[in-house]
């Protein structure tokens, strides 16, 4: 009976610990969004040494590097992380960003297209695609991506502004 009780306590402890780690990682994702790098570093320190969370630590390290402008270093860290499960979206978003900023917009586009296909409601993927299409000169594709951003995030004034600029450009070109 004592052995069963000890096993139950141990299982409860591991469940509690797993929830704590997940909360820590979720908080780190929010810290990345707000660019609170000391909080991300704290999460890295808290997760380090837990083999199950090594991919999470690598992703967080890559996020810090990218946040500091070291996209090549971030790509190196990401090379050891499989974008799957709960890491699929954040790792893929960061991978696409790093590819773009290291001069590989074609591969970045592939990453963001894959992301938007798997999750059509992921507004960040559409934002990135709009920028890539605009840079490439594919204004109709950029417009479609921006319209998707407006649909998903109606409070994003940037998308409205960019759409307005595209429409204005179209009007100016049609007058010529």
**CB of 146 within 8 A of CB of 162?**
yes
- Residue 69: CB atoms within 10 Å: 10
List the beta strands (DSSP E) in 25-64. none
- Which of the four pLDDT bands, split at 50, 70 and 90, describes residue 13? very low
172 vs 128 pLDDT, higher one: 128
Spatial neighbors of 118 by CB under 8 A, at least 6 apart, are: 88
Task: Round to whole Å and give the CA distance between 20 and 29.
Answer: 14
- Which of the four pLDDT bands, split at 50, 70 and 90, describes residue 19? confident
- Which of the four pLDDT bands, split at 50, 70 and 90, describes residue 67? very high
End-to-end distance of the chain based on CA atoms, in angstroms?
A: 88
Task: Round to whole Å and give the CA distance between 22 and 71.
Answer: 26
Q: pLDDT digits over 110-135, tens only? A: 999 999 999 999 999 999 999 999 99
Task: Round to whole Å and give the CA distance between 80 and 59.
Answer: 9
Pick from 65, 15, 16, 14: nearest CA to 44: 65
Q: Read off the pTM.
A: 0.82
90: tokens are 């954040």
Which residue pairs, CB below 8 angstroms and at least 24 apart, start in 37-41? 37/64, 37/67, 37/68, 40/64, 40/67
Task: Round to whole Å and give the CA distance between 114 and 171.
Answer: 32
């Amino acid at each position: 009976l004592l052995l069963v009780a000890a096993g139950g306590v141990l299982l409860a402890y591991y469940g509690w610990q797993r929830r704590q780690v997940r909360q820590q990682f979720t908080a780190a994702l929010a810290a990345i969004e707000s660019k609170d790098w000391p909080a991300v570093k704290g999460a890295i320190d808290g997760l380090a040494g837990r083999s199950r969370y090594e991919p999470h630590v690598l992703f967080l390290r890559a996020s810090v590097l990218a946040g500091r402008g070291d996209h090549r270093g971030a790509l190196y860290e990401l090379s050891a992380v499989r974008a799957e499960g709960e890491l699929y979206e954040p790792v893929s978003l960061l991978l696409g960003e790093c590819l773009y900023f290291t001069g590989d917009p074609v591969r970045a586009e592939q990453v963001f297209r894959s992301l938007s296909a798997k999750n059509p409601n992921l507004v960040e993927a559409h934002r990135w695609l709009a920028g890539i299409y605009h840079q490439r000169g594919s204004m109709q594709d950029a417009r479609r991506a921006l319209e998707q951003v407006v649909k998903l995030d109606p409070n994003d004034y940037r998308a409205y502004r960019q759409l307005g600029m595209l429409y204005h450009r179209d009007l100016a070109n049609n007058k010529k």
